[in-house]
Structure 1
Amino acid sequence: MPGVRGLFIPGPTNVPDAVRRAVDVPMEDQRAPDLPAFTLPLFEDVKKVFKSRTGQAFLFPSSGTGGWEAALTNTLSPGDKVLAARFGQFSHLWIDMCIRLGFEVDVVDAPWGEGVPVDIFAARLKADRHHKIKAVLVPHNETATGVTSDIAGVRKALDEADHPALLFADGVSSIASIDFRMEDWRVDIAVSGSQKGFMMPAGLAILCVSQKALAQAQDAQSRRCYFDFADMARVNKDGYFPYTPPTHMLRGLRASLDLLFAEGLEHVFQRHHRLAEAVRQAVSAWGLKLCAAAPHWQSDTVSAIYLPDGFDSNAFVRHAYKAYGLSLGVGLSKVAGRVFRIGHLGDLNELMVLTALSGVELTLRDQGVPFTAGSGVAAAIEHFHRTQPAQLAKAA
């Protein structure tokens, strides 16, 4: 198919030219004497994206799933109890990993379309007077349903219960796109990945770890080797890695951070909210519904959208790809065949969003889904016009 394909899954996302150029470099000496001049500032700048002053950044050659495993095995011992909610495929997978690693999981099942039930967490934490719960797991953004949870609310619940459990956050599809305040919320471990808000190829797990979690890691009895914080920290302090690092990915991360800081993190968050709202306006104009059950759950990085009864979202996504080169996210697990997903994060602007919405409208039309052609695109255009940044409005 001629032309550029449209990548609008919720990750991997589009990679900016500056990052692609940074990654496409000759291999270099990972033990060169001048490497620390590059890596040490890199570690510090990663922390700024997490809004952490006192934590420690770790970069593992892995996906975000490897970051999950690192968080769990470095701080917990077999048999330890964790509190987790299941309300989407990725929260389910985190729970599954805990079980397979030998931890006891107190699972709170919540409707798919809602986020972490803070009130239930608060009650269970207050009832845990002997502090058997060692960690609380919170997906900041559930990618399968397009739902963002209230991490600050969970921190408040921990504080009100005077509970010492560690607070873990899965920020794979939120960090660097949605405001995340590790220091303010006192998150102990936050996990992200290179392929979403960081606008890079997949392959790098990006973590930030609190001093409290690092201290607890000294007593954790879970087996670990490749993902051992102690091994990494011991060599990272001098700017190196305990095994051969993907230096090209580190160069890409440097370029990504430079782009984020040049735009300004607060502007990055505002841009994502504005683009996401355009998608939500389009969904409403089409007469369709989001999986997110209420506005306060709605994600600014991915929208999961229900098709009407009688329509197969898997067939819908296949047609969009084959007919128009448009990649949309499929529904997963409980919502498989019922929703399709539009990823709206990373290196993204108004024209790119309108491209995605136009492709969805073509597919809706081809699949016979009832809607008014052009309605969603028009709603997004009106939203963009009403909310254009002040400098652009002044120039016009």
Structure 2
Amino acid sequence: MSQQNPVFIPGPTNVPDRLRRVMDMQTLDHRAPDFADTFQPVLAGVKRVLKADSAEVMLFPASGTGGWEAAISNTLSPGDKVLVARYGMFSHRWIDLCQRHGLDVQVIDVEWGDGAPIEQYAEALKADTRHEIKAVLICHNETATGVVSDIAGLRKALDDAGHPALLFVDGVSSIASMDFRFDEWGVDVAIAGSQKGFMLYTGMAILAVSQKALKAAETARLPRTFLDFGDMLTANAKGSFPYTPPQQLIFGLGESIKMLEEEGLDNVFARHHRIAEGVRRAVKAWGLQICAKRPELYSDSVTAIHVPEGFDATALINHAYGAYGVSYGVGLGEVAGKVFRIGHLGSMTDVMALTGISTIEMAMHELGYPIQLGAGTAAAQAYYSETRGDVRAMAA
């Protein structure tokens, strides 16, 4: 029975029954001419969600990490310099991937819990008068710390410096849950995953790629085969794939986009903000601290929460799982054992969120945390009750 409980990890997220039914399908011939009738509208739908009319969309059988690799291997050459800030485990892992590919990685180290340092990016770009930096990398939503960063601000820094570097954005835990504006922000490659805001199973990296990035791919010399943009676009133009596609996920993605657009993207984003704010109210009532250092950095898809001195966050989430069969996110890297994470993205309602809040509250109480049992749940309940009319207004 515990498997029926929702998960509160920041991905993979809960899969709605509607999407599970669509993906429960018999094998189809992906070389048949009618495959394009399903496939090509899905690509168009992804463009709408990312607000990426000018981009080419590609779907690779991979997780978000495969999306990172596709971005750099198709557009860069050995020894190219890239600029990136490290402020959480996922920005750190992207740095590691770039280094393993033989790139010259200029790293701006930032205290975990802070966001991407736009001013330091700007200084580095202005100092690079020879334009040796070929790409700038940023995590829109750093999943390890629950921190959202300013993509528009980074685009302004590039423009103010008159710098031609490509802008790559990891939107894996933000896209389809938080507003993302590919064209407006001048993004060159945006990376998402099927298992987060799109509410599907893991297994598909979703990329939007600008015409500028495609032009760079013509001369890029890093090796790629399975993740080759050219092979993918050539096949996609015929409504096909260069190899066997993840059909169930493609069908699921089409239905996911329908669900998002039926709700309305602005309503999807407002729902995530409301649910996240309820979680934040609970944290305040517990007397605990959010990992993100300032309210403007608070993520609407995941909240990372510091445990009090002398307590082990990993022991807490293990207890919650063992006692109640409910999963929460572990602390990673520099915050391992120091924070636990409540994921509230994708298929999530206020009622589901209350389940997660009350369960972790019971687990903390049982482990002797200095909290008042019921305080966080009551704070979230009060907020959700007070704002229930906002949901009715959105649905009207």
Shorter-chain TM range is: over 0.9
Indicate conservation of the 8 Å contact 1:8/1:344, yes or no: yes
Instruction: Supply the distance in 1 between the matched residues of 2:288 and 2:365 (Cα, whole angstroms).
Output: 14
Instruction: Supply the distance in 1 between the matched residues of 2:265 and 2:308 (Cα, whole angstroms).
Output: 37
How many angstroms does 1:387 deviate by?
1.6
Indicate conservation of the 8 Å contact 2:8/2:342, yes or no: yes
Indicate conservation of the 8 Å contact 2:87/2:113, yes or no: yes
Equivalent residue, structure 2, for 1:136: 136
Are 1:187 and 2:187 counterparts? yes
Equivalent residue, structure 1, for 2:354: 354
Indicate conservation of the 8 Å contact 2:113/2:292, yes or no: yes
Instruction: Supply the distance in 2 between the matched residues of 1:154 and 1:394 (Cα, whole angstroms).
Output: 31
User: After the TM superposition, which residues 225-240 of structure 1 pair with which residues of structure 2 at under 5 Å, given as runs?
Assistant: 225-240=225-240
Indicate conservation of the 8 Å contact 2:82/2:137, yes or no: yes
Instruction: Supply the distance in 2 between the matched residues of 1:11 and 1:119 (Cα, whole angstroms).
Output: 30
Q: 1:394 to 1:122 in 2, by over 3 A?
A: closer
Structure 2 SS opposite 1:389: helix
Indicate conservation of the 8 Å contact 1:6/1:325, yes or no: no
Letter in structure 2 aligned against 1:20? R
Q: 1:244 to 1:383 in 2, by over 3 A?
A: same
Equivalent residue, structure 1, for 2:8: 8
Unaligned 5+ segments in structure 2 are none
Are 1:373 and 2:373 counterparts? yes
Q: 1:233-268: per-residue Cα shift (whole Å, max 9, x none)?
A: 001011100001011111111111110010011110
How many angstroms does 1:42 deviate by?
1.2
- What TM-score results when the alignment is normalised by the length of structure 2? 0.98
How many angstroms does 1:392 deviate by?
3.5
Structure 1 SS opposite 2:25: coil
Indicate conservation of the 8 Å contact 1:331/1:341, yes or no: yes
How many angstroms does 1:3 deviate by?
7.0
- What TM-score results when the alignment is normalised by the length of structure 1? 0.98
Unaligned 5+ segments in structure 1 are none
Equivalent residue, structure 1, for 2:23: 23
Percentage identity across paired residues of the two chains: 56
Equivalent residue, structure 1, for 2:363: 363
Equivalent residue, structure 2, for 1:260: 260
Instruction: Supply the distance in 2 between the matched residues of 1:230 and 1:348 (Cα, whole angstroms).
Output: 37
How many angstroms does 1:6 deviate by?
3.0
Indicate conservation of the 8 Å contact 1:9/1:343, yes or no: yes
Structure 1 SS opposite 2:376: helix
Indicate conservation of the 8 Å contact 1:51/1:183, yes or no: yes
Equivalent residue, structure 2, for 1:211: 211
Equivalent residue, structure 2, for 1:48: 48
Indicate conservation of the 8 Å contact 1:54/1:210, yes or no: yes
Instruction: Supply the distance in 2 between the matched residues of 1:2 and 1:249 (Cα, whole angstroms).
Output: 26
Q: 1:125-149: per-residue Cα shift (whole Å, max 9, x none)?
A: 0010000000000100000000000
Q: Aligned residues, how many? A: 395
Instruction: Supply the distance in 1 between the matched residues of 2:113 and 2:5 (Cα, whole angstroms).
Output: 30
Equivalent residue, structure 2, for 1:339: 339
Equivalent residue, structure 1, for 2:271: 271
Structure 1 SS opposite 2:388: coil
Instruction: Supply the distance in 1 between the matched residues of 2:347 and 2:71 (Cα, whole angstroms).
Output: 28
Equivalent residue, structure 2, for 1:155: 155
Indicate conservation of the 8 Å contact 1:317/1:330, yes or no: yes
User: After the TM superposition, which residues 264-343 of structure 1 pair with which residues of structure 2 at under 5 Å, given as runs?
Assistant: 264-343=264-343
How many angstroms does 1:4 deviate by?
2.3
Instruction: Supply the distance in 1 between the matched residues of 2:394 and 2:378 (Cα, whole angstroms).
Output: 23
Instruction: Supply the distance in 2 between the matched residues of 1:390 and 1:5 (Cα, whole angstroms).
Output: 27
Q: Which moved more, 1:320-329 or 1:33-42?
A: 33-42
Letter in structure 1 aligned against 2:174? S
Instruction: Supply the distance in 1 between the matched residues of 2:3 and 2:57 (Cα, whole angstroms).
Output: 39
How many angstroms does 1:2 deviate by?
5.2
After the TM superposition, which parts of structure 1 deviate over 3 Å for at least 4 consecutive aligned residues? 389-395
Q: 1:188 to 1:391 in 2, by over 3 A?
A: closer
How many angstroms does 1:393 deviate by?
7.7
Letter in structure 1 aligned against 2:372? T
Letter in structure 2 aligned against 1:76? L
RMSD: 1.3
Equivalent residue, structure 1, for 2:90: 90
Instruction: Supply the distance in 1 between the matched residues of 2:178 and 2:391 (Cα, whole angstroms).
Output: 23
How many angstroms does 1:390 deviate by?
4.2
How many angstroms does 1:389 deviate by?
3.3
Equivalent residue, structure 2, for 1:61: 61
How many angstroms does 1:75 deviate by?
0.3
Structure 1 SS opposite 2:379: helix
Are 1:110 and 2:110 counterparts? yes
Instruction: Supply the distance in 2 between the matched residues of 1:157 and 1:110 (Cα, whole angstroms).
Output: 18
